Amino acid sequence: MIEVTLTVRGIGQLREPLGDMGVTIMCAPTAAAVLDQLQTQIPAITDLGGAVALATDTAYLAPDAAVHDGMQLVLIPPVSGG
């Protein structure tokens, strides 16, 4: 296991419960591991039913995407349009 420290921001309905959160994870450094840890800490994420995505400033992250120390991530809630 590796300890990774990240900054995660929430947008949309996750902006308020998340803010700019520093996250330290002790597990396999993947996007899925980050999301799993955030779901245990912030009920608002779990309330969205698993439709939350993680992204960097350039792309969405697949669940198995590697994350590294100092990375800045964005947590994106589901969106709908009409």
Question: 73: which 2 tokens?
Answer: 């991530």
Domains of the chain: total? 1
The answer as to whether 82 is a domain residue is no
The answer as to whether 81 is a domain residue is no
The CATH number of residue 55's host domain is 3.10.20.90
The answer as to whether 34 is a domain residue is yes
The answer as to whether 21 is a domain residue is yes
pLDDT value for 68: 87
Q: Which structural domain range is residue 63 located in?
A: 2-76
28-82 per-position pLDDT tens digit: 788 988 888 888 888 888 887 778 889 987 899 999 999 988 888 898 888 765 5
Kindly provide the residue ranges of all beta strands, DSSP E only, lying in 1-82, ordered along the sequence. Answer: 2-10, 20-27, 53-55, 72-76
Q: What is the pTM of this model?
A: 0.78
Q: How far apart are CA 8 and CA 68, in angstroms?
A: 13
Yes or no: say if 63 and 32 are a contact pair by the CB < 8 Å rule. Answer: yes
pLDDT value for 27: 67
